[in-house]
Copies of this chain bind each other. A is one copy, B any other.
Amino acid sequence: MRDTDRSFIAGFLDADGSIYVRLKPNSDYRYDFQIVPVIVFFQKKEKVLILEHIKDLLNVGYLRFRRDGIVEYTIGDHKGLRKIINVVLKYAVLKKEQLILMEAILSYKGSVKTANDFLILAKMIDKFEDLNYSKKRSVKSQQVKSRLIDKGLL
């Protein structure tokens, strides 16, 4: 990919993209939480062209047309996330820290072996709340910790 395509996507992401990791309660998972990392772009449906353009450049993720007229371009699989991080990291300004944190979480996630490892992962995810200026500032790792203690794993 050309450097100018990479920096174009970085600029678009800085303006309009969201980078975060959800911790979803889900008892199908070993520690009762599912880790859902995502990079997503939102645009009005009239501007879907630009999302298609970026999707064509990256060749990852998928578009979803919501009923309210918003189109989401979502990248949620690890391979796709690593690709977009690799593409834009050099050029992102505002979201560089989120990209580095996301990369660290993807790497660490693969090495989680114990409940304590999982709690560290949850604490890494908490950091997104600060970086994304989240108003809720929910401390998800506290919920994870409580759950792991309830299960007798901590």
Residues of B within 8 A of A3 (CB): 3-4, 7
Report how many residues on chain A are interfacial, defined by Cβ distance under 8 Å: 27
Q: How many copies does the complex hold?
A: 2
Main SS of the interface on chain A? helix
Residues of B within 8 A of A9 (CB): 11
Residues of B within 8 A of A4 (CB): 3-4, 6-7, 91
Q: Mark A20-56, 1 if CB is under 8 A from B, else 0.
A: 0000000000000000000001011011011001000
Determine whether the beta carbon of B7 is less than 8 Å from that of A93. no
Residues of B within 8 A of A43 (CB): 15
Q: Which of A2-16 contact B (CB under 8 A)?
A: 3-16
